[in-house]
Amino acid sequence: MKPHEYQLVLTTCPDTEVAERLAQALVQERLAACVNIMPVARSVYWWKGRVESAAEQLLIIKSMTDAYSSIQKRIRELHPYELPEVIAVPVVDGLPDYLAWIRNPDKT
């Protein structure tokens, strides 16, 4: 495995409809092999001069690092937030067969 060849991209969504729309688009467009939708994360954050709190859904997007800019662009296009969370976390190791599947999900 080359260093940082794979990544997890994180984003939060305001509801199930937005989460499903983003997940479906990223997988159908082959930008991600898999998107996990984690229901009901409680976010507490500073926004425009005050502390806010919201129930959100966390998306864990599994992809190759070279897809990051396209994933970021697609999230910005489809996301309703003024400033959506889009954070990439490098994968430093993993089950070789699973990483191979992320690289080419059509080969399973």
Q: Does pLDDT of 1 surpass 70?
A: no
Cα 107 to Cα 83: distance, rounded to the nearest angstrom: 36
pTM for the predicted model, two decimal places: 0.93
CA 34 to chain centre: 9
pLDDT digits 0-9 by tens, 57-101: 999 999 999 999 999 999 999 999 999 999 999 999 999 999 999
CB 98 within 8 A of CB 33: no
